[in-house]
Amino acid sequence: MFTSAAPFMTIGLLILSNVFMTFAWYGHLKFEDKPLYLVVLVSWGIAFFEYCAQVPANRIGYGYFNAAQLKTIQEIITLSVFVIFSVFYLGESIQWKQIVGFGFIALGAFFIFTK
């Protein structure tokens, strides 16, 4: 069962989920001096909140979107959040080859949503 708000709620929750996921997976890279067990535990704690957004997003969105579309939306959001994170949090620059690669992924997403 879904409402007309389903796509907005799904995408909003997926964005929130991916912000948490990105910090859980990559946020510890700035803390190389911390023991591995500690960053694993902290990452696991952050991932809990990722799941609290991811699972409802998929539950709400399924039916309005099919599973392949949900996964594609999630991957595009993941890449978008990661680019912002890597530039502003990690201080890394984006190279032209990465942009081209992300463009190909976006092209693949286009085909997933084309009837």
pLDDT of residue 82: 93
Looking at this protein, which amino acid is placed at residue 101? G
Q: Do 102 and 83 form a contact (C-beta atoms < 8 A)? A: yes
pLDDT of residue 3: 67
pLDDT of residue 91: 95
- Packing angle of the helix pair 6-26, 67-88 (nearest 10 deg): 50
pLDDT of residue 1: 52
* Contacts for 68 with CB less than 8 Å, ≥ 6 apart: 112
Query: Average pLDDT of the chain?
Result: 93
* Low pLDDT (below 50) residues in the chain: none
pTM of the model: 0.88
